[in-house]
Amino acid sequence: MGGPVCCGLVPHLELATRPHLYGGPVVAGACEGPVVAASEEALAFGVRAGMSVRQAEHRCPAVVVLEPAPEAAERLRNLLAAALYDLAPLVEVRIEGIAWLDLEGVPKRGEAIREARRRLRQATGAEPRLGLAAGPFSARLAAARARPGRLLEANDAAAFLAPLPTVELQLEPELMERLDLLGLRTLGQVAALGPRQLESQLGRVGRRAVLLARGREPEWLRPWRPPLFTSAHRQFEPPVEDREALLFVARALAGDLAVELGLRGAGAKKIRMRVETEGRGGSPEERESLVRHPLSSPAELFGLLSSWLRDWQPAGPVALLAVELPELEAAGRRQLRLWSGGDGSKEEVDAALERLQERHGESVALSIHPALPASPLPEQRYELTPR
């Protein structure tokens, strides 16, 4: 690992998909299955991932149990990775609510860390805990000990790790028992052994444990790569025929996709809408368009979707409405066409202006108004106000 690595900790993404439940004891898990994720408030009652939901309810009677939503969590993981992608050469985001950025070679690391904090907060609704260290293991442990919204730096990884308990190695229970029998209860004690010594006791896991305890970071980040395709869909139970209901859902899907495009800094070059109707044995009905200028705002996307839906006559009640964006284009290329020949609609121009102001501040676009036309000083004749 080249390092330094910044780690941002947010709630497990199974919980972060429902931020309105922050602040209380919450777990995600099937009724008869194991706990997938637990909030900090639930952890305080001894609830842990892997125990049964019944055990969690026994330990914390007030706990709120959520049905796992793996698709939503995975979607949020990709959103977070896309949001952080332009801040560092390597980015990894895990469902557990861990985001790593390898800042090796980044000239303005402080700015990258502050922007990562802002984007994590925006996407999850929670202040991330941040850690900076030589690699992902020590950076994660530093972040776990930081206050929400604050950064903890572990400049000397070995010294930082030494007093921490061996449970941070996250070994199997049997291996943890063997460490305890060997009298190894802190990472400093593990680090004092030779890698071969512990390997003889625990196998290859022992060698890895020694390197981690020394801050040697034997593992690399698994870099995220942005997908070239994205989509959103909504199922109807029961199927619907009302066109206004379809328009309402299409507007929501356009909004969801616009958020994702905004985080990626991308626009949609091709848009496809797919409708599946009740009892239809054949292929779904589709509409597709390759647009002249990539679309990214909710107004731009919904404008095209609504025009299709208003003219569409589905073969029956609609059971599923899907919007797919099979071709994306980088945002930088979009800037070339913002004011080209007045060929954009007012909605497109307004949307482009909003994006510029969100990124660079209101003063990026100014309106000119008469102030003192008779003044002998040119600068007093007009005033500039944010548009």
CATH code, domain carrying 122 = 1.10.150.20
- Please tell me whether the peptide bond between 165 and the residue prior to it is cis, using omega within 30 degrees of 0: no
28 within some domain: no
Burial degree of 346 (CB within 10 A; 0-12, 13-18, 19+)? exposed
Instruction: Verify that 117 and 214 share a domain, yes or no.
Output: yes
- Report if residue 160 sits inside a domain: yes
For residue 129, the model assigns a pLDDT of 96
Do 241 and 214 lie in a common domain? no
CATH number assigned to the domain comprising residue 312: 3.30.1490.100
Q: Domain boundary at 176, 211, 226, which?
A: 226
Task: Please identify, among 186, 207, 226, the residue that sits at the C-terminal boundary of a domain.
Answer: 226
In a domain, 289, yes or no: yes
Whole-prediction pTM value? 0.65
DSSP state letters, 186-205: BHHHHHTS-HHHHHHHHTHH
Residues 203 and 269 in one domain: no
Q: β-strands 35-38, 285-295: how paired?
A: unpaired
38 occurs within a structural domain: no
Q: Are residues 4 and 139 in the same domain?
A: yes
Work out whether strand 266-277 and strand 151-153 pair parallel, antiparallel, or are unpaired.
unpaired
Confidence grade of residue 284 (pLDDT, cut at 50, 70, 90):
confident
User: Is there a single domain that holds both residue 97 and residue 137?
Assistant: yes
Token pair recorded at residue 178: 């063997």
Instruction: Report whether pLDDT(34) > 50.
Output: yes
Which residue among 320, 337, 354 closes a domain? 337
Q: How far apart are CA 118 and CA 266, in angstroms?
A: 19
Range of the domain at 281: 230-337
In the DSSP assignment, the letter for residue 166 is G
Do 152 and 105 lie in one domain? The reply is: yes
- Alpha-carbon gap, residue 355 to 262, rounded angstroms: 9
Could you read off the pLDDT of 309-326 as tens digits, one per residue? 988 887 788 999 999 998
Examine residue 161 and state whether it is found in any structural domain, yes or no. yes
**Residue 352 within a domain:** no
Bridge partners (DSSP) of residue 28 are 37, 66
Do both 101 and 192 map to the same domain?
yes
- Which pLDDT belongs to residue 340? 42
Q: Are residues 126 and 259 in the same domain?
A: no
Residue 266's DSSP bridge partners are 330
Residues 147, 1: one domain?
yes
Burial zone of 306 (CB within 10 Å; 0-12 exposed, 13-18 middle, 19+ buried) = middle
Give the N- to C-terminal CA distance of the chain in Å, as an integer.
Answer: 47
Label residue 350 by pLDDT band (50, 70, 90). low
Same domain, 178 and 135: yes
Q: How many folded domains does the chain comprise? A: 2
Domain assignment present for 2:
yes
DSSP SS3 for 56? helix
Residues 25 and 62: their CA atoms lie apart, in Å, by 7
Instruction: Report which of 269, 289, 251 is spatially closest to residue 331, judged by C-alpha positions.
Output: 269
- Confirm if 122 and 149 have CB atoms less than 8 A apart: no
Torsion, Cα of 17, 19, 22, 24 (10° steps) = -60
What does the pLDDT look like over 226-274, one tens digit per residue? 777 788 899 988 888 888 999 999 999 999 898 888 777 778 889 999 9
Q: Residues 143, 169: one domain?
A: yes
Q: What is the pLDDT of residues 143-201, one digit of tens each?
A: 999 999 999 999 999 999 999 999 999 999 999 999 999 999 999 999 999 888 888 88
Kindly state whether residue 277 falls inside one of the protein's structural domains. yes
Same domain, 262 and 287: yes
Residue 65 in this model has a pLDDT that exceeds 70: yes
